[in-house]
Amino acid sequence: MGRRIITMRLESGVSKEGVDGYQDRLLKYIPADINAAWLALTGIVKSATNIPQTGVLWVLFVVLLILTPIWTWQQTTESRKSPALTQILISTGAFFVWVFALGEPFASSFKDFYQPVYGSILLILYTLIVARIVPAEN
């Protein structure tokens, strides 16, 4: 199974792949490898002493946020097809929402605003809504 969301199936063609449904789109929208990298990196940073943990987490967050669309673009590129822009944007948003739901570095930096319930609500709503989006790119 490729990473690119399939929205059309050619009846008389070489491809035997089916059109991606709600659950397939949801799985393909989530940048699981970037999320796994975030988990590993935050674990390393939080175990370190004598470093500015919040600052380092912000730098890593920004780096992975920039890397997410590049990573998704590379994994969804197919010959003779336009870039999967919808999928790239939604995956980047998914990484942002996921990190926000986990808390750090937002919880440390925005103590007066950030509440874990906000991240949980945003994560649930984002997950429910974005998988309903069928990309126009084929």
pLDDT per position as a tens digit, 45-103: 999 989 999 999 999 999 999 999 999 999 988 888 888 899 999 999 999 999 999 99
Torsion, Cα of 36, 40, 42, 46 (10° steps):
160
What is the pLDDT confidence band of residue 36, given thresholds at 50, 70 and 90?
Answer: very high
C-alpha to C-alpha distance for 66 and 70, rounded to whole angstroms: 7
Contact 69, 92 (CB under 8 A): yes
Q: What is the pTM of this model?
A: 0.85
Q: At what angle do helices 85-102 and 116-130 cross, to 10 degrees?
A: 160
Tens-digit pLDDT profile for residues 54-67: 999 999 999 999 99
C-alpha angle 128/34/102, rounded to 5°? Answer: 60
Burial of 70 from C-beta contacts in 10 A (0-12 / 13-18 / 19+): exposed
User: Measuring CA to CA, which residue among 34, 37, 116 is closest to residue 69?
Assistant: 34
User: Measuring CA to CA, which residue among 84, 76, 85, 87 is closest to residue 133?
Assistant: 87
